[in-house]
Amino acid sequence: MTTPARGLLVLVRHGQSEDNAQDLFSGLRDPALTPRGVEEARAAGRELRRLGLSFTHAFTSMLTRAGQTMELILDELGQSDLPVRRHAALNERDYGGLAGLNKSQARERFGAERVRIWRKSYDAVPEGGESLAMTAARVWPFYEREIAPVVRAGGCALLVGHGNALRSMLMRLDGIDAATIEDVNIGTAQALVYALAEDGRRLVKTNLPAADLAEPSSRA
């Protein structure tokens, strides 16, 4: 077992899901990983192990694709016995009426421009769903309450999450504004590594190779 790194946060998006493979809006739907997604998750775990990382704390959502990815990563790290904190605050953005539709079906039903705004805008709310701003309003308080104290105390936290939920975190962690976040995409099983800054509070993105473990793919 490697020694846990001190004061690190590793964010990993789940591996390819069955909805990703069909280019569907997923949101709170609960598809499993595809065989490709399983291998992506295992590859992420192997890369984190190669970098000598192990974790003191693990966090994920209540959704299957994230939970499976977490299990596979921890298995590759030899840390299958690490307790995992699961919470609905980390669930993917609720796509409402878009959920279960592929991009072409959504454009036909709602119109291309409206779908583009729902997908890209920080504040736009799909029918019956959440905006990215609403997602951030539940994800970030959970981070500040439960994850940040772990890292600031010198722990090493692994968070396996979802494309939009993680994007909402990057706005704070990386200082990304609402206009710029529209063009930020996190690929399936891609990892982003943050280290505690010298001030003991801020997190700064590192240049570890783990920051780009997998090729980008469509958002959940």
Beta carbons of 19 and 220 less than 8 angstroms apart: yes
Distance CA 208, CA 166 (A): 19
> According to DSSP H, which parts of 17-160 are helical?
18-21, 35-50, 64-77, 103-110, 112-120, 132-142, 148-152
* Share in percent of the chain as helix, strand, coil (round to 5): 45, 15, 40
Question: How confident is residue 204, by pLDDT bands cut at 50, 70 and 90?
Answer: confident
pLDDT tens digits, one per residue of 47-85: 999 999 999 999 999 999 999 999 999 999 999 999 999
Beta carbons of 52 and 2 less than 8 angstroms apart: yes
pLDDT tens digits, one per residue of 130-181: 999 999 999 999 999 999 999 999 999 999 999 999 999 999 999 999 999 9
Provide the edge-to-edge strand list for the sheet that holds 84-86. 84-86, 57-60, 156-161, 8-13, 191-196, 203-205
23, 29, 169: which is closest to 96 by C-alpha? Answer: 29
- What is the rounded radius of gyration, in angstroms, for the C-alpha atoms of the chain? 17
Residues serving a catalytic function are: 14, 92
Kindly state the average pLDDT of the residues 196-201: 76
Token pair of 28 as six digits: 């709170």
